[in-house]
């Protein structure tokens, strides 16, 4: 496999009356990604479920894990696609984690717990994940770098050295400054590691939480070198609009450029002089 088709969902908060409405909207968005090998949803997009919880208590969202898992497991099998179901608040041994899920066409599920947490997430009681792993699918070697994780060069570098070709970045950023921190970081990680990065954004305002309005412009990013676009942007969403963007990436080209590109940033590292 050399060419991989990818779709990134830009998801917007909306009012819900029940879980079926949530599931219907999710399936509609997946249908817009028909023919893609991978589909990625944003970080924490299941926060929308607060609408159907009495008193809209966000801390009750982990209770929907079973329905969330069932929904995405069935969609991945039915559509024969790899679906990154964004991330979901999950309780493990009485600890709260922000966990991204990769749902596979064969029913398999791989999980990644966010390793670098924003100070606000720590105050909310989230626990840091401790592992950086890649997932070897039949389409590509991929990894998850959830939002703030991409602001740390060590995360993407570690995943790349482990073999990642594509890093999927489910994201939920508050305001335009937060968005650009993650977006610029994603583009930098694509350049310095000679990988593809797919940035999926959560937008809109949670119920009664005007200070937590999401801002985003989902994108599929490449290194900045011919024959990719000069700015490295393969596909890009409209700002703050719910939509699905789709693009194609070439893994053979990626490996070729790692060896013979104009800027061979991955092989050109000099770790012998990086000691502090």
Q: Is residue 271 in a domain? A: no
Mean pLDDT of 6-28: 95
Q: Is 43 a catalytic residue?
A: yes
Pairing relation of β-strands 135-136 and 233-236? unpaired
- Is residue 52 in a domain? yes
204 domain residue, yes or no? yes
State pLDDT tens for residues 234-258. Answer: 999 999 999 999 999 999 999 999 9
What is the phi/psi pair of residue 266, to 5°? -75, -50
- Angle (CA) 226-220-186 rounded to 5° is 90
Q: What does the pLDDT look like over 125-136, one tens digit per residue?
A: 999 999 999 999
Which class for 52: exposed (0-12), middle (13-18), buried (19 or more C-beta within 10 A)?
Answer: middle
For residue 89, tell me if it sits in a domain.
yes
Assessment of whether the complete model's pTM goes beyond 0.85? yes
Cβ burial of 229 (10 Å; 0-12, 13-18, 19+) is middle
147 noted as active-site residue: yes
Confidence of residue 56 (pLDDT cuts 50, 70, 90): confident
The pLDDT, as a whole number, for residue 5 is 98
Whether the pLDDT of residue 100 is over 80: the answer is: yes
pLDDT given at position 32: 97
Among 139, 91, 154, 116, which residue's Cα sits nearest to residue 249? 139
Distances (CA, A) of 203 to 58, 87, 93, 165, 183: 17, 14, 31, 27, 14
Domain count, the chain: 1
Q: How confident is the model at residue 167 (pLDDT cuts 50, 70, 90)?
A: very high
Asked if residue 274 belongs to a domain, the reply is no
Strands (E), the chain: 3-12, 38-40, 82-92, 95-103, 109-113, 135-136, 141-144, 166-171, 196-203, 219-221, 233-236, 243-250
The pair of three-digit structure tokens given for residue 20, joined into one six-digit string: 């079926």
Task: Give the tens place of pLDDT for each residue, 1-13.
Answer: 589 999 999 999 9
Among 12, 79, 111, 114, which one carries the catalytic annotation? 114
| 60 counts as catalytic | no
CATH classification of the domain holding 37:
3.60.110.10
Angle between helices 65-79 and 19-31 (to 10 degrees): 30
Q: Region 29-47: what's the mean pLDDT? A: 97
> Which pLDDT value is given to residue 57?
84
Q: What is the CA radius of gyration of the chain?
A: 18
In a domain, 146, yes or no: yes
In a domain, 268, yes or no: no
pLDDT at 1: 59
Of the candidates 104, 147, 186, 201, the residue annotated as catalytic is 147
Q: What is the pLDDT of residue 104?
A: 98
At 188-209, the pLDDT tens digits run 999 999 999 999 999 998 776 7
Exposed, middle or buried: residue 138 (CB in 10 Å: 0-12, 13-18, 19+)? exposed
In a domain, 31, yes or no: yes
Its domain, for residue 80, covers: 3-259
């Amino acid at each position: 496999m050399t060419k991989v088709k990818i779709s990134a969902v830009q998801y917007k908060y909306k009012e819900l009356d029940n879980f079926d409405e949530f599931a219907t909207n999710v399936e509609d968005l997946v249908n817009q990604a028909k023919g893609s090998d991978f589909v990625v949803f944003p970080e924490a997009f299941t926060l929308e479920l607060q609408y159907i919880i009495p008193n809209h208590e966000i801390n009750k969202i982990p209770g929907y894990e079973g329905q969330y898992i069932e929904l995405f497991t069935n969609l991945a099998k039915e559509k024969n696609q790899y679906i990154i179901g964004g991330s979901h608040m999950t309780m493990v041994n009485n600890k709260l984690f922000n966990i991204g899920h990769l749902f596979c066409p064969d029913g398999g599920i791989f999980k990644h717990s966010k390793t670098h947490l924003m100070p606000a997430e720590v105050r909310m009681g989230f626990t840091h994940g401790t592992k950086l792993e890649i997932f070897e699918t039949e389409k590509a070697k991929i990894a998850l770098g959830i939002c703030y994780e991409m602001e740390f060069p060590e995360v993407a570098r570690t995943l790349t050295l482990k073999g990642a070709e594509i890093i999927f970045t489910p994201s939920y950023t508050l305001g335009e400054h937060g968005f650009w921190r993650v977006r610029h970081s994603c583009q930098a990680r694509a350049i310095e590691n000679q990988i593809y990065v797919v940035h999926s954004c959560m937008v809109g305002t949670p119920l009664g939480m005007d200070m937590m309005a999401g801002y985003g412009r989902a994108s599929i990013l490449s290194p900045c070198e011919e024959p990719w676009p000069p700015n490295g942007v393969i596909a890009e969403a409209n700002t703050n609009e719910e939509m699905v963007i789709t693009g194609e990436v070439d893994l053979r080209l990626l490996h070729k450029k790692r060896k013979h590109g104009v800027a061979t940033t991955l092989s050109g590292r000099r770790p012998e002089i990086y000691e502090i």
